Structure 1
Amino acid sequence: MHTREIIYLSKGLPKDSVYKNEPYVSGIWKEQTDELDVGLEQINGDQVANPEYHGGSDRVVCVYPFEHYAYWESVFVGKLTPSAFGENLTPKGMKEDEVCIGDIFQIGEAVLQVSQGRYPCSTINKRNNNNLLLKGIIKTGYTGYFFRVLEEGKITPDSQIKKLFSHPAQITVSSIHHLYFHDSSPSIEVIDKILAVKELAGQWRTYLLDLKEKIR
Protein backbone atom coordinates (compact mmCIF):
# COMPACT_ATOMS: atom_id res chain seq x y z
CA MET A 1 0.00 0.00 0.00
CA HIS A 2 1.28 3.44 -0.92
CA THR A 3 1.86 6.08 1.73
CA ARG A 4 -1.34 8.06 2.17
CA GLU A 5 -1.02 11.82 2.33
CA ILE A 6 -3.07 14.95 1.73
CA ILE A 7 -2.12 17.09 -1.27
CA TYR A 8 -4.99 19.63 -1.25
CA LEU A 9 -7.90 20.58 0.99
CA SER A 10 -10.65 22.65 -0.65
CA LYS A 11 -14.07 24.06 0.11
CA GLY A 12 -16.49 26.57 -1.36
CA LEU A 13 -20.03 27.89 -1.63
CA PRO A 14 -22.18 27.74 -4.78
CA LYS A 15 -21.53 30.48 -7.29
CA ASP A 16 -22.87 31.71 -10.60
CA SER A 17 -20.82 30.79 -13.65
CA VAL A 18 -21.22 30.78 -17.43
CA TYR A 19 -20.22 28.05 -19.86
CA LYS A 20 -20.67 28.50 -23.61
CA ASN A 21 -22.96 31.49 -22.94
CA GLU A 22 -25.19 29.39 -20.67
CA PRO A 23 -25.40 30.47 -17.00
CA TYR A 24 -25.31 27.84 -14.27
CA VAL A 25 -24.96 27.66 -10.51
CA SER A 26 -22.66 25.09 -8.92
CA GLY A 27 -20.65 24.33 -5.80
CA ILE A 28 -17.88 22.75 -7.89
CA TRP A 29 -15.73 25.89 -7.78
CA LYS A 30 -13.85 25.27 -4.53
CA GLU A 31 -10.76 27.05 -3.24
CA GLN A 32 -7.79 25.66 -1.37
CA THR A 33 -7.98 25.99 2.38
CA ASP A 34 -5.74 25.21 5.33
CA GLU A 35 -8.53 23.51 7.30
CA LEU A 36 -11.72 21.53 6.79
CA ASP A 37 -14.13 21.67 9.72
CA VAL A 38 -16.08 18.49 9.00
CA GLY A 39 -19.58 18.07 10.42
CA LEU A 40 -21.97 15.14 10.21
CA GLU A 41 -24.03 16.72 7.40
CA GLN A 42 -21.60 19.09 5.69
CA ILE A 43 -18.23 20.81 5.88
CA ASN A 44 -18.32 24.28 7.39
CA GLY A 45 -18.15 26.80 4.53
CA ASP A 46 -18.87 24.17 1.87
CA GLN A 47 -22.25 23.72 0.20
CA VAL A 48 -23.86 22.20 -2.87
CA ALA A 49 -26.13 24.03 -5.30
CA ASN A 50 -28.40 21.09 -6.15
CA PRO A 51 -29.22 19.02 -3.05
CA GLU A 52 -31.31 16.56 -5.08
CA TYR A 53 -28.17 15.16 -6.68
CA HIS A 54 -25.40 16.34 -4.37
CA GLY A 55 -24.66 16.52 -0.67
CA GLY A 56 -26.46 14.83 2.21
CA SER A 57 -25.08 12.67 5.00
CA ASP A 58 -23.71 10.02 2.60
CA ARG A 59 -21.79 12.60 0.56
CA VAL A 60 -20.20 15.01 3.01
CA VAL A 61 -16.56 14.80 1.92
CA CYS A 62 -15.82 14.54 -1.80
CA VAL A 63 -12.50 12.83 -2.58
CA TYR A 64 -10.48 12.84 -5.81
CA PRO A 65 -7.18 10.93 -5.98
CA PHE A 66 -4.19 13.15 -6.75
CA GLU A 67 -2.61 10.52 -9.01
CA HIS A 68 -5.29 11.15 -11.65
CA TYR A 69 -4.20 14.75 -12.11
CA ALA A 70 -1.01 13.69 -13.90
CA TYR A 71 -3.02 11.34 -16.13
CA TRP A 72 -5.52 14.01 -17.21
CA GLU A 73 -2.78 16.58 -17.70
CA SER A 74 -0.97 14.17 -20.02
CA VAL A 75 -4.14 13.33 -21.97
CA PHE A 76 -5.33 16.90 -22.42
CA VAL A 77 -1.91 18.57 -22.33
CA GLY A 78 -2.71 21.26 -19.80
CA LYS A 79 -2.22 22.05 -16.14
CA LEU A 80 -5.19 21.49 -13.86
CA THR A 81 -5.95 23.78 -10.96
CA PRO A 82 -6.36 22.39 -7.40
CA SER A 83 -9.81 20.88 -6.78
CA ALA A 84 -10.34 20.67 -10.54
CA PHE A 85 -12.98 18.00 -9.92
CA GLY A 86 -14.79 19.90 -7.17
CA GLU A 87 -13.38 17.70 -4.44
CA ASN A 88 -12.77 18.65 -0.81
CA LEU A 89 -9.94 16.21 -0.25
CA THR A 90 -7.21 15.42 -2.77
CA PRO A 91 -5.15 12.55 -1.28
CA LYS A 92 -2.32 10.42 -2.57
CA GLY A 93 -2.39 6.64 -2.09
CA MET A 94 -6.19 6.30 -2.02
CA LYS A 95 -7.31 5.53 -5.56
CA GLU A 96 -10.71 4.00 -6.41
CA ASP A 97 -9.21 0.50 -6.69
CA GLU A 98 -7.54 0.90 -3.28
CA VAL A 99 -10.60 1.76 -1.18
CA CYS A 100 -13.72 -0.29 -0.52
CA ILE A 101 -17.27 0.63 0.40
CA GLY A 102 -17.45 0.60 4.21
CA ASP A 103 -13.74 1.19 4.83
CA ILE A 104 -13.17 3.60 7.71
CA PHE A 105 -10.37 6.15 7.93
CA GLN A 106 -9.33 8.66 10.54
CA ILE A 107 -8.08 11.84 8.89
CA GLY A 108 -7.03 14.40 11.44
CA GLU A 109 -9.79 14.52 14.04
CA ALA A 110 -12.50 13.26 11.68
CA VAL A 111 -13.53 9.62 11.30
CA LEU A 112 -14.84 8.96 7.79
CA GLN A 113 -16.36 6.00 5.96
CA VAL A 114 -16.35 5.32 2.22
CA SER A 115 -20.00 5.41 1.18
CA GLN A 116 -20.10 5.48 -2.63
CA GLY A 117 -18.29 6.23 -5.83
CA ARG A 118 -19.06 9.50 -7.51
CA TYR A 119 -21.61 9.44 -10.31
CA PRO A 120 -19.94 11.91 -12.67
CA CYS A 121 -21.90 14.76 -14.24
CA SER A 122 -21.31 17.32 -16.96
CA THR A 123 -20.48 20.11 -14.51
CA ILE A 124 -16.95 18.67 -14.46
CA ASN A 125 -16.68 19.59 -18.16
CA LYS A 126 -17.81 23.14 -17.39
CA ARG A 127 -15.42 23.49 -14.45
CA ASN A 128 -12.45 22.56 -16.65
CA ASN A 129 -13.67 24.03 -19.95
CA ASN A 130 -13.31 20.59 -21.53
CA ASN A 131 -16.17 18.80 -23.29
CA LEU A 132 -14.29 15.48 -23.36
CA LEU A 133 -13.52 15.15 -19.67
CA LEU A 134 -16.77 13.54 -18.49
CA LYS A 135 -16.56 10.91 -21.20
CA GLY A 136 -12.96 10.18 -20.18
CA ILE A 137 -13.88 9.91 -16.51
CA ILE A 138 -16.60 7.35 -17.26
CA LYS A 139 -14.23 5.40 -19.51
CA THR A 140 -11.37 5.26 -16.98
CA GLY A 141 -13.41 5.03 -13.77
CA TYR A 142 -11.37 7.91 -12.35
CA THR A 143 -14.47 9.28 -10.69
CA GLY A 144 -13.48 9.95 -7.11
CA TYR A 145 -15.76 8.96 -4.24
CA PHE A 146 -17.48 10.16 -1.07
CA PHE A 147 -17.10 9.81 2.67
CA ARG A 148 -19.88 9.90 5.22
CA VAL A 149 -18.82 11.28 8.60
CA LEU A 150 -18.83 9.01 11.66
CA GLU A 151 -17.08 11.50 13.94
CA GLU A 152 -16.82 15.23 13.36
CA GLY A 153 -13.53 17.08 13.50
CA LYS A 154 -10.95 19.22 11.82
CA ILE A 155 -8.62 18.18 8.99
CA THR A 156 -5.48 20.14 8.11
CA PRO A 157 -3.01 19.62 5.24
CA ASP A 158 -0.55 17.84 7.55
CA SER A 159 -3.20 15.56 9.10
CA GLN A 160 -2.30 11.88 9.07
CA ILE A 161 -4.53 9.39 7.27
CA LYS A 162 -5.03 6.20 9.27
CA LYS A 163 -7.10 3.24 8.13
CA LEU A 164 -9.20 2.06 11.07
CA PHE A 165 -11.28 -0.64 9.39
CA SER A 166 -11.16 -2.67 6.17
CA HIS A 167 -14.63 -3.83 5.17
CA PRO A 168 -14.67 -7.63 4.84
CA ALA A 169 -16.73 -7.59 1.61
CA GLN A 170 -13.83 -5.87 -0.19
CA ILE A 171 -16.05 -4.15 -2.80
CA THR A 172 -13.86 -1.46 -4.33
CA VAL A 173 -15.24 1.81 -5.66
CA SER A 174 -13.76 1.00 -9.08
CA SER A 175 -15.44 -2.43 -9.23
CA ILE A 176 -18.91 -0.89 -8.83
CA HIS A 177 -18.18 1.69 -11.53
CA HIS A 178 -17.00 -1.04 -13.91
CA LEU A 179 -20.07 -3.18 -13.25
CA TYR A 180 -22.48 -0.30 -13.85
CA PHE A 181 -20.85 1.44 -16.81
CA HIS A 182 -18.77 -1.21 -18.57
CA ASP A 183 -19.98 -4.75 -17.84
CA SER A 184 -21.89 -5.89 -20.94
CA SER A 185 -23.51 -8.79 -19.08
CA PRO A 186 -23.74 -7.85 -15.39
CA SER A 187 -24.49 -10.68 -13.02
CA ILE A 188 -27.41 -10.52 -10.59
CA GLU A 189 -25.24 -12.49 -8.16
CA VAL A 190 -22.55 -9.79 -8.25
CA ILE A 191 -25.13 -7.01 -7.88
CA ASP A 192 -26.63 -8.80 -4.87
CA LYS A 193 -23.18 -9.13 -3.31
CA ILE A 194 -22.72 -5.36 -3.57
CA LEU A 195 -26.24 -4.62 -2.32
CA ALA A 196 -25.50 -6.79 0.73
CA VAL A 197 -22.98 -4.18 1.88
CA LYS A 198 -25.23 -2.12 4.14
CA GLU A 199 -22.76 0.76 4.14
CA LEU A 200 -23.39 1.44 0.43
CA ALA A 201 -25.08 4.83 -0.01
CA GLY A 202 -28.71 5.05 -1.08
CA GLN A 203 -27.96 6.70 -4.44
CA TRP A 204 -25.91 3.77 -5.70
CA ARG A 205 -28.27 1.26 -4.11
CA THR A 206 -31.02 2.73 -6.30
CA TYR A 207 -28.84 2.60 -9.44
CA LEU A 208 -27.99 -1.05 -8.84
CA LEU A 209 -31.57 -2.07 -8.04
CA ASP A 210 -32.66 -0.46 -11.31
CA LEU A 211 -29.90 -2.31 -13.17
CA LYS A 212 -30.99 -5.56 -11.56
CA GLU A 213 -34.57 -5.02 -12.75
CA LYS A 214 -33.39 -4.39 -16.31
CA ILE A 215 -31.47 -7.67 -16.55
CA ARG A 216 -34.00 -9.96 -14.93
Structure 2
Amino acid sequence: MVQILYLNVGMPEEINWNGKKEQSAIRKKRVAQAFLSKDSFRGDGVAATEFHGGPDRAVCFYPMEHYTKWSDEFGKDLAAPTFGENISASGMTEADIYIGDTYKLGEAVIQVSQGRVPCSKISKNNQIGQLLKRVVETGYTGYFFRVIQEGMVYEDSEIILLERKQNNMSILRANKIYFHDRNDYGAIEELLHIDELAEEWKKNLATLLKHKN
Protein backbone atom coordinates (compact mmCIF):
# COMPACT_ATOMS: atom_id res chain seq x y z
CA MET A 1 0.00 0.00 0.00
CA VAL A 2 1.35 3.42 -0.98
CA GLN A 3 -0.15 6.86 -1.30
CA ILE A 4 -0.21 8.44 -4.73
CA LEU A 5 1.83 11.62 -4.96
CA TYR A 6 -0.60 13.56 -7.14
CA LEU A 7 -3.63 13.32 -9.39
CA ASN A 8 -3.53 15.06 -12.77
CA VAL A 9 -6.01 15.51 -15.60
CA GLY A 10 -6.11 17.62 -18.73
CA MET A 11 -7.68 17.95 -22.15
CA PRO A 12 -5.81 18.33 -25.45
CA GLU A 13 -4.54 21.83 -26.16
CA GLU A 14 -2.50 23.46 -28.87
CA ILE A 15 1.18 23.58 -27.91
CA ASN A 16 3.95 25.34 -29.80
CA TRP A 17 7.06 23.17 -29.91
CA ASN A 18 9.97 24.79 -31.74
CA GLY A 19 7.67 26.80 -33.95
CA LYS A 20 5.37 23.91 -34.80
CA LYS A 21 1.88 23.75 -33.31
CA GLU A 22 0.53 20.37 -32.19
CA GLN A 23 -2.41 19.09 -30.21
CA SER A 24 -1.44 17.33 -27.00
CA ALA A 25 -2.80 16.57 -23.53
CA ILE A 26 0.65 15.92 -22.05
CA ARG A 27 0.55 19.05 -19.87
CA LYS A 28 -1.92 17.78 -17.30
CA LYS A 29 -2.81 19.82 -14.22
CA ARG A 30 -3.13 18.77 -10.61
CA VAL A 31 -6.63 18.38 -9.19
CA ALA A 32 -7.91 17.52 -5.72
CA GLN A 33 -10.29 14.83 -6.95
CA ALA A 34 -11.76 13.35 -10.11
CA PHE A 35 -14.31 10.69 -10.98
CA LEU A 36 -12.75 7.71 -12.73
CA SER A 37 -14.98 6.08 -15.35
CA LYS A 38 -14.27 3.04 -17.53
CA ASP A 39 -12.68 5.27 -20.18
CA SER A 40 -10.81 7.95 -18.22
CA PHE A 41 -10.82 10.44 -15.42
CA ARG A 42 -13.51 13.06 -15.83
CA GLY A 43 -11.84 16.10 -17.36
CA ASP A 44 -9.06 14.03 -18.92
CA GLY A 45 -8.51 13.50 -22.62
CA VAL A 46 -5.94 12.50 -25.23
CA ALA A 47 -4.82 13.76 -28.62
CA ALA A 48 -2.68 10.87 -29.90
CA THR A 49 -5.29 8.11 -29.79
CA GLU A 50 -2.86 5.58 -31.27
CA PHE A 51 -0.83 5.71 -28.05
CA HIS A 52 -3.32 6.80 -25.39
CA GLY A 53 -6.96 6.52 -24.43
CA GLY A 54 -9.62 3.82 -24.47
CA PRO A 55 -10.71 1.33 -21.81
CA ASP A 56 -7.35 -0.50 -21.67
CA ARG A 57 -5.52 2.82 -21.19
CA ALA A 58 -7.82 4.68 -18.83
CA VAL A 59 -5.18 5.61 -16.23
CA CYS A 60 -1.56 6.49 -16.98
CA PHE A 61 1.08 5.89 -14.28
CA TYR A 62 4.71 7.00 -14.33
CA PRO A 63 7.08 5.90 -11.54
CA MET A 64 8.54 8.72 -9.48
CA GLU A 65 11.99 7.08 -9.37
CA HIS A 66 12.54 7.74 -13.06
CA TYR A 67 12.42 11.49 -12.63
CA THR A 68 15.69 11.38 -10.71
CA LYS A 69 17.27 9.07 -13.29
CA TRP A 70 16.38 11.24 -16.27
CA SER A 71 17.30 14.46 -14.49
CA ASP A 72 20.73 13.03 -13.63
CA GLU A 73 21.30 11.50 -17.07
CA PHE A 74 20.42 14.61 -19.03
CA GLY A 75 21.58 17.22 -16.52
CA LYS A 76 18.19 18.87 -16.49
CA ASP A 77 15.59 19.05 -13.75
CA LEU A 78 12.46 17.23 -14.92
CA ALA A 79 9.49 18.07 -12.75
CA ALA A 80 6.43 15.83 -12.52
CA PRO A 81 4.04 15.35 -14.27
CA THR A 82 5.98 16.14 -17.43
CA PHE A 83 5.38 12.67 -18.89
CA GLY A 84 1.64 13.28 -19.02
CA GLU A 85 0.78 10.77 -16.32
CA ASN A 86 -2.37 10.86 -14.23
CA ILE A 87 -0.79 9.42 -11.10
CA SER A 88 2.59 8.48 -9.67
CA ALA A 89 4.08 6.82 -6.60
CA SER A 90 7.38 5.44 -5.38
CA GLY A 91 8.04 1.69 -5.20
CA MET A 92 5.98 0.86 -8.27
CA THR A 93 8.48 0.71 -11.12
CA GLU A 94 7.98 -1.42 -14.21
CA ALA A 95 10.06 -4.19 -12.58
CA ASP A 96 7.76 -4.23 -9.53
CA ILE A 97 4.42 -4.36 -11.36
CA TYR A 98 2.89 -7.31 -13.22
CA ILE A 99 0.28 -7.40 -15.94
CA GLY A 100 -3.05 -8.11 -14.32
CA ASP A 101 -2.17 -6.60 -10.94
CA THR A 102 -5.41 -5.25 -9.50
CA TYR A 103 -5.49 -2.26 -7.14
CA LYS A 104 -7.94 -0.22 -5.16
CA LEU A 105 -7.43 3.48 -5.90
CA GLY A 106 -9.70 5.70 -3.85
CA GLU A 107 -13.20 4.39 -4.51
CA ALA A 108 -12.18 2.81 -7.83
CA VAL A 109 -10.61 -0.54 -8.70
CA ILE A 110 -8.03 -0.60 -11.50
CA GLN A 111 -5.97 -3.30 -13.24
CA VAL A 112 -2.59 -3.14 -15.00
CA SER A 113 -3.12 -3.77 -18.71
CA GLN A 114 0.05 -2.84 -20.63
CA GLY A 115 3.23 -0.83 -20.71
CA ARG A 116 2.98 2.63 -22.19
CA VAL A 117 3.95 2.99 -25.83
CA PRO A 118 5.59 6.42 -25.67
CA CYS A 119 5.47 8.96 -28.48
CA SER A 120 7.75 11.81 -29.53
CA LYS A 121 5.82 14.32 -27.44
CA ILE A 122 7.68 13.30 -24.28
CA SER A 123 10.91 14.44 -25.96
CA LYS A 124 9.30 17.62 -27.25
CA ASN A 125 7.66 18.49 -23.94
CA ASN A 126 10.94 18.08 -22.06
CA GLN A 127 13.10 19.55 -24.84
CA ILE A 128 15.39 16.51 -24.78
CA GLY A 129 15.78 14.96 -28.21
CA GLN A 130 17.13 11.61 -26.94
CA LEU A 131 14.58 11.11 -24.19
CA LEU A 132 12.11 9.01 -26.20
CA LYS A 133 14.94 6.75 -27.42
CA ARG A 134 16.21 6.23 -23.88
CA VAL A 135 12.73 5.57 -22.48
CA VAL A 136 12.24 2.79 -25.04
CA GLU A 137 15.77 1.40 -24.55
CA THR A 138 15.38 1.14 -20.79
CA GLY A 139 11.75 0.07 -20.74
CA TYR A 140 11.03 2.88 -18.28
CA THR A 141 7.86 3.78 -20.11
CA GLY A 142 5.31 3.84 -17.33
CA TYR A 143 2.16 1.81 -17.78
CA PHE A 144 -1.62 1.85 -18.09
CA PHE A 145 -4.56 0.59 -16.05
CA ARG A 146 -8.06 -0.37 -17.10
CA VAL A 147 -10.94 0.38 -14.74
CA ILE A 148 -12.70 -2.56 -13.09
CA GLN A 149 -14.88 -0.45 -10.81
CA GLU A 150 -15.63 3.23 -11.33
CA GLY A 151 -15.40 5.71 -8.48
CA MET A 152 -13.93 8.88 -7.06
CA VAL A 153 -10.17 9.26 -6.74
CA TYR A 154 -8.49 11.86 -4.56
CA GLU A 155 -5.04 13.43 -4.72
CA ASP A 156 -4.05 11.62 -1.51
CA SER A 157 -5.71 8.28 -2.30
CA GLU A 158 -3.88 5.11 -1.41
CA ILE A 159 -3.16 2.52 -4.09
CA ILE A 160 -3.64 -0.89 -2.51
CA LEU A 161 -2.80 -4.20 -4.19
CA LEU A 162 -5.87 -6.44 -4.16
CA GLU A 163 -4.73 -9.30 -6.38
CA ARG A 164 -1.71 -10.43 -8.38
CA LYS A 165 -2.85 -12.64 -11.26
CA GLN A 166 0.65 -13.87 -12.14
CA ASN A 167 4.22 -13.13 -11.08
CA ASN A 168 6.20 -13.98 -14.19
CA MET A 169 5.48 -11.17 -16.64
CA SER A 170 6.34 -7.78 -15.20
CA ILE A 171 5.77 -4.62 -17.18
CA LEU A 172 9.55 -4.34 -17.63
CA ARG A 173 9.81 -7.86 -19.08
CA ALA A 174 6.76 -7.31 -21.28
CA ASN A 175 8.30 -4.05 -22.56
CA LYS A 176 11.51 -5.89 -23.43
CA ILE A 177 9.57 -8.43 -25.48
CA TYR A 178 7.30 -5.87 -27.12
CA PHE A 179 9.98 -3.34 -28.06
CA HIS A 180 13.16 -5.39 -28.44
CA ASP A 181 12.72 -9.19 -28.53
CA ARG A 182 10.20 -9.32 -31.34
CA ASN A 183 11.65 -12.56 -32.68
CA ASP A 184 11.43 -14.36 -29.34
CA TYR A 185 8.30 -16.25 -30.27
CA GLY A 186 8.26 -18.33 -27.12
CA ALA A 187 8.20 -15.20 -24.96
CA ILE A 188 5.56 -13.65 -27.20
CA GLU A 189 3.35 -16.71 -26.80
CA GLU A 190 3.86 -16.58 -23.03
CA LEU A 191 2.80 -12.94 -22.98
CA LEU A 192 -0.23 -13.67 -25.12
CA HIS A 193 -1.43 -16.30 -22.63
CA ILE A 194 -2.08 -13.57 -20.06
CA ASP A 195 -5.78 -12.82 -20.34
CA GLU A 196 -5.43 -9.41 -18.72
CA LEU A 197 -3.05 -8.10 -21.40
CA ALA A 198 -4.47 -5.14 -23.36
CA GLU A 199 -6.28 -6.05 -26.56
CA GLU A 200 -4.08 -3.90 -28.78
CA TRP A 201 -0.95 -5.59 -27.49
CA LYS A 202 -2.56 -8.97 -28.09
CA LYS A 203 -3.37 -7.99 -31.66
CA ASN A 204 0.10 -6.65 -32.41
CA LEU A 205 1.88 -9.60 -30.83
CA ALA A 206 -0.36 -12.08 -32.65
CA THR A 207 0.67 -10.39 -35.91
CA LEU A 208 4.32 -11.02 -35.06
CA LEU A 209 3.58 -14.71 -34.53
CA LYS A 210 2.14 -14.95 -38.04
CA HIS A 211 5.67 -14.33 -39.34
CA LYS A 212 7.12 -17.07 -37.14
CA ASN A 213 7.70 -19.40 -40.04
Distance 2:37 2:57 in 1: 11
How far the C-alpha of 1:25 sits from its partner, in A, is 0.2
Structure 1 counterpart of 2:131, from 107, 130, 133: 133
Distance 1:133 1:42 in 2: 26
- Report whether the alignment pairs 1:189 with 2:183: no
TM-score by structure 2 length? 0.94
Structure 2 counterpart of 1:200, from 197, 200, 204: 197
- Report whether the alignment pairs 1:121 with 2:119: yes
Counterpart in the other structure of 1:34: 32
Structure 2 counterpart of 1:23, from 21, 24, 36: 21
How far the C-alpha of 1:134 sits from its partner, in A, is 0.1
Q: Pairwise mapping of residues 82-161 of structure 1 onto structure 2 (< 5 A)?
A: 82-161=80-159
For residues 169 and 6 of structure 1, do their structure 2 counterparts lie closer, same or farther at Cα, with a shift above 3 Å needed?
A: closer
- Report whether the alignment pairs 1:12 with 2:10: yes
Distance 1:53 1:98 in 2: 23
Distance 1:118 1:129 in 2: 20
Distance 2:197 2:49 in 1: 19
Deviates more, 1:138-147 or 1:4-13: 4-13
Q: Contact (CA 8 Å) 2:60, 2:86: kept in 1 or not?
A: yes
- Report whether the alignment pairs 1:212 with 2:197: no
Letter in 2 for 1:144: G
Structure 1 counterpart of 2:170, from 153, 169, 172: 172
Deviates more, 1:164-173 or 1:108-117: 164-173
Q: Contact (CA 8 Å) 2:51, 2:119: kept in 1 or not?
A: no
How far the C-alpha of 1:213 sits from its partner, in A, is 2.7
For residues 77 and 149 of structure 1, do their structure 2 counterparts lie closer, same or farther at Cα, with a shift above 3 Å needed?
A: same
Distance 1:169 1:60 in 2: 23
How far the C-alpha of 1:171 sits from its partner, in A, is 1.3
How far the C-alpha of 1:184 sits from its partner, in A, is 7.2
Letter in 1 for 2:83: F
Q: How many matched pairs?
A: 213
Q: Pairwise mapping of residues 40-55 of structure 1 onto structure 2 (< 5 A)?
A: 40-55=38-53
Please list every run of 5 or more consecutive structure 1 residues that lacks an aligned counterpart in the other structure. Answer: none
Please list every run of 5 or more consecutive structure 2 residues that lacks an aligned counterpart in the other structure. Answer: none
Deviates more, 1:19-28 or 1:153-162: 153-162
Q: Render the CA deviation track for 1:51-72: whole Å, top value 9, x for unaligned.
A: 3442011100000000111101
Give secondary structure in 1 for the equivalent of 2:189.
helix
How far the C-alpha of 1:169 sits from its partner, in A, is 5.4
Structure 1 stretches of 4+ moved >6 Å: none
Q: Contact (CA 8 Å) 1:32, 1:82: kept in 2 or not?
A: no
Distance 2:60 2:109 in 1: 14
Distance 1:180 1:49 in 2: 23
Deviates more, 1:91-100 or 1:165-174: 165-174
How far the C-alpha of 1:185 sits from its partner, in A, is 4.7
Distance 1:61 1:25 in 2: 20
